[in-house]
């Protein structure tokens, strides 16, 4: 009788190896993607015939986003980041990707207990006197619980990573990187930094897995913003935190609609403080929270602006911080040539057929049309959208160090406009820009 040999991908005991599991996951992703896109793009083609090409393109972008949603939280997180790269991804697709949500149910009581045991083990009773077993907030990577910390009995918020989520997301992102390497070889993508863009978004997602790093980032953000009146970043309890858990001050009575019930004068203060927070991060400190959506930005009845969750943050080099400040200053005074030079000098790459003169002329016209607009008519979102369109059209790919910080401004613009429709984004920036560019001199 011939000796028994394990099938490929199995160890001698018949248990699937990591390589086999990765291959199986890749097969599931490929099958799901193929099935979903076949149906979605067929519908898009029908829509284009019946209602015109623009409607068909919108339907096709929606089909791609729906496919991503079916692939699970790793791909949703990656797509959310990719949706910010309007310099390399069509605007219609960015719109759809940016609306993807982490629709993940909270951990059950049993899962919460297991996660606590995994992180704290026998130390749990010496770190907390109590932990509520039902989370107050839930995401694809972690859930947040109310707890009481020892030895002082302080009420705290405990952000606890889901068990097993790290290896799963790491494996999925590895597959995404391999796919990008294959796609980058296509002739029509020559000169487009596909691998660099995907590597950047993968690093952004992986960074959100390390809650120890996020805790350190929150502490840094707290220190960076402490000079701005009435801005609060919760204090991190470092001794109680771990690589898979952050313990921080619990801020009571946070609600997304608090500002709606405040008088107009306080709402205007909220708007100015929020913009100052972003400008301080961008132009002075160089450490930027890129995800200040209403779930991470709150206002209190006492007039405070509260900043939470530094999972998606970037660090700017001193050179890039100064370039960003220089870009914004020149934009505000109408120097389009200088703005174009800054984008070109910091670009991640240029396509083989990049039309640099046309790009420069386009930026010059864009800045000229915007720098004298009344505050009510100026839209940073519209400005950035047109800038990214110029980059995509003429083959200039921006560095993530320029795109991700700009995202922090785009995310808060809607919130700030609701608080104060008359606020002047450019005028509010001037004191911070002057401090950043000329203060040390």
Q: Cα(439)–Cα(77) distance, rounded to whole angstroms?
A: 38
**pLDDT above 80 (res 408):** no
DSSP string, 20-32: HHHHHHHHHHHHH
Amino acid 2: pLDDT: 44
10 lies in some domain:
no
Angle between helices 18-51 and 53-71 (to 10 degrees): 160
**pLDDT above 80 (res 225):** yes
Q: Cα(148)–Cα(156) distance, rounded to whole angstroms?
A: 6
pTM of the prediction?
A: 0.77
Asked if 169 and 206 count as a contact pair (C-beta separation under 8 A), the reply is yes
271, 420: one domain = yes
Look-up: residue for tokens 């660099």?
A: 196
385 lies in some domain:
yes
How do residues 259-307 score in pLDDT, each as one tens digit?
Answer: 999 999 999 999 999 999 999 998 899 999 988 888 889 999 999 999 9
Amino acid 18: pLDDT: 66
42 lies in some domain:
yes
Confidence of residue 201 (pLDDT cuts 50, 70, 90): confident
Q: Highest mean pLDDT range out of 208-212, 219-223, 418-422?
A: 219-223
337, 398: one domain = yes
3-state secondary structure at position 421: coil
How do residues 123-156 score in pLDDT, each as one tens digit?
Answer: 999 999 999 989 998 888 899 999 999 998 999 9
> Where in the sequence is the domain holding 114, given as residue range(s)?
102-250
221, 289: one domain = no
CATH number of the structural domain spanning residue 203: 3.30.200.20
323 lies in some domain:
yes
Total domain count, the chain = 3
| φ/ψ (deg, to 5) at 154 | -75, 140
312 lies in some domain:
yes
- At which of 250, 280, 313 does a domain end? 250
Between 441 and 26, whose confidence is greater? 26
How do residues 303-317 score in pLDDT, each as one tens digit?
Answer: 999 999 888 888 888
Amino acid 13: pLDDT: 53
């Amino acid at each position: 009788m011939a000796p028994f040999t394990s099938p490929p991908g199995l160890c001698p005991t018949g248990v699937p190896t990591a390589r086999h599991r990765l291959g199986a996951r890749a097969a599931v992703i490929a099958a799901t993607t193929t099935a979903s896109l076949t149906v979605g793009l067929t519908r898009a083609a029908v829509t284009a015939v019946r209602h015109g090409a623009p409607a068909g393109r919108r339907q096709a972008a929606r089909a791609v986003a729906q496919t991503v949603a079916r692939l699970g939280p790793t791909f949703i997180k990656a797509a959310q980041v990719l949706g910010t790269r309007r310099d390399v991804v069509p605007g219609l697709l960015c719109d759809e990707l940016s609306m993807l949500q982490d629709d993940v149910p909270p951990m059950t009581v049993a899962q919460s207990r297991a996660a606590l045991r995994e992180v704290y083990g026998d130390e749990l009773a010496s770190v907390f006197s109590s932990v509520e077993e039902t989370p107050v907030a839930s995401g694809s990577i972690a859930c947040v619980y109310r707890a009481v910390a020892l030895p002082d009995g302080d009420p705290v918020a405990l952000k606890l990573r889901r068990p097993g989520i790290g290896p799963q997301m790491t494996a999925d992102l590895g597959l995404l990187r391999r796919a990008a390497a294959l796609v980058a070889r296509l002739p029509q993508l020559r000169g487009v930094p596909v691998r660099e863009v995907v590597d950047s978004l993968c690093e952004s997602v992986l960074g959100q897995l390390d809650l120890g790093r996020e805790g350190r980032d929150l502490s840094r953000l707290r220190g960076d913003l402490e000079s701005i009146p009435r801005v609060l970043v919760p204090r991190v309890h470092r001794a109680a935190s771990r690589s898979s858990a952050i313990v921080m001050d619990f801020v009571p009575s946070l609600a997304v609609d608090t500002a709606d019930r405040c008088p107009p004068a306080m709402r205007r203060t909220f708007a100015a403080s929020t913009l100052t927070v972003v400008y301080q991060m961008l132009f002075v400190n160089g450490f930027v929270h890129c995800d200040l959506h209403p779930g991470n930005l709150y206002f209190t009845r006492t007039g405070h602006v509260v900043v939470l969750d530094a999972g998606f943050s970037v660090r700017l080099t001193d050179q890039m911080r100064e370039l960003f400040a220089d870009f914004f200053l020149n934009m505000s005074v109408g120097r389009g040539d200088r703005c174009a030079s800054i984008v070109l000098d910091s670009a991640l790459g240029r396509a083989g057929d990049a039309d640099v003169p046309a790009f420069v002329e386009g930026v010059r016209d864009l800045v000229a049309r915007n720098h004298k607009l009344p505050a009510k008519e100026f839209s940073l979102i519209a400005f950035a959208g047109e800038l990214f369109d110029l980059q995509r059209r003429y083959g200039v790919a921006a560095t993530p160090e320029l795109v991700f910080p700009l995202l922090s401004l785009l995310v808060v613009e809607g919130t700030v406009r609701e608080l104060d429709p008359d606020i002047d984004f450019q005028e509010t920036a001037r004191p911070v820009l002057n401090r950043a560019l000329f203060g040390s001199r």
